[in-house]
Amino acid sequence: MITIILAGIVLFSVINFAAIHTWIERKQSAVMQDRIGANRAYVTLPWKWAAPINWLLKPINELGLFHPIADAIKMFTKEDFVPPLGDKFLHALAPFLALFFGLVGFAAIPFGDVLILHGQTITLQVAPISVGLLYIFAVASMGVYGVILAGFASNNNYAFLGGMRASSQMLAYEITLGATIIGIVMIYQSMDLQQIVRGQGHLLFGWIPMWGIVVQPVGFFLFLAAGVAETKRIPYDMPEGESEIIGYFTEYSGMKFGMFYFADFLETIMIAALASTLFLGGWQVPYLQAAGFVFPWGASLAVPHLAVCALQIFSFTFKVIFLCWLFMTVRWTLPRFRYDQLMELGWKGIFPVALANIVVTALALLFFAR
């Protein structure tokens, strides 16, 4: 029962954050480009007695926060077109696979340590898997099938080319992404994400939190570079480049297109959550332990258990939001790579550096971690 409740909370949070992410993308691009952005989805009540309600709705309308709801209504009501010569079953299966495997990976992400209620200890993680890192990479790799099937089932040459580009890009950068985190696994000696986060609570030299970004700074930046490529978003959006080949979802409309659109944001949030977990301490707050804050200079501050859990959840959420903001900043700053530049960066740039980082980490552990 507890697992079902946790799964519902995580699912609700992730889906709503992905919906808000669509608004964030529009508003952040507007701020960076010195324009207003999305603000046309107005909700007003026509009755005189509703004037106070309309007054409360005015700032929400002006910020454009109703746009995600308007998008959903539009996609649900648009015609669901299937190409006459396409494979109808695979055409419907592809967006489901992309969305499903984008969601189930969050089950292994720990968003807190433990919550003790009425003497019962609850791990703040939907699925405490001892090989959670392998699980996430496994389900993420399955999402490639949704992209391949979308291009194949549409019976459209442009969509097929976009699907091939997407699959080769995702497969190439999955290998690179895996290489960037080997150093983290070697240092914390675990593939359990909860144990990795707990390991980042230790202190180096008695005062520096042992976060992944401290012990693996090169791995952190390589992970971000490869992770953004996995999301297929600018500057790595060759599979869906509108000015070139249109994309693997060319023949999709209605909510099927919406599922692919939504899956892109889910992948972005997943990369941000995984980067936070592996490199930014996850739910860790510097010097915060189960009983409260314990500072390096000897001082301490008692904090109630529920407040500790709230601080941990807030810390993890803040880090994820910060990385999503960073990804959006990169998206609206850098131009798109050429396809050959993309593959060359992955195989000849990031991947060799990731392998060198593994060797350096192994040597450091051999000579200094005794």
Give Cβ neighbours of residue 111 (< 8 Å, ≥ 6 apart): 10, 124, 125, 283, 312, 313, 316, 317
Contacts of 334 (CB under 8 A, 6+ apart): 234, 235
pLDDT value of residue 198: 93
Report the alpha-carbon distance of residue 345 to residue 185 in Å, rounded.
24
CA 233 to centroid of chain Cα atoms:
12
pLDDT single digits (tens) 269-327: 999 999 999 999 999 999 998 888 988 888 889 899 999 999 999 999 999 999 999 99
Q: Are 6 and 124 in contact (CB under 8 A)?
A: yes
Structure tokens at 272: 């941000």
Per DSSP bridges, beta strands 208-209 and 114-117 are: unpaired
pLDDT at 314: 95
Stated pTM of the model = 0.92
Model pLDDT, residue 283: 93
Q: Which residues contact 29 (CB under 8 A, 6 or more apart)?
A: 37, 328, 331, 332
Closest CA to 206 of 278, 298, 285: 298
| pLDDT of 142 | 87
Report the SS3 class of residue 46.
coil
- Spans of the chain below 50 pLDDT: none
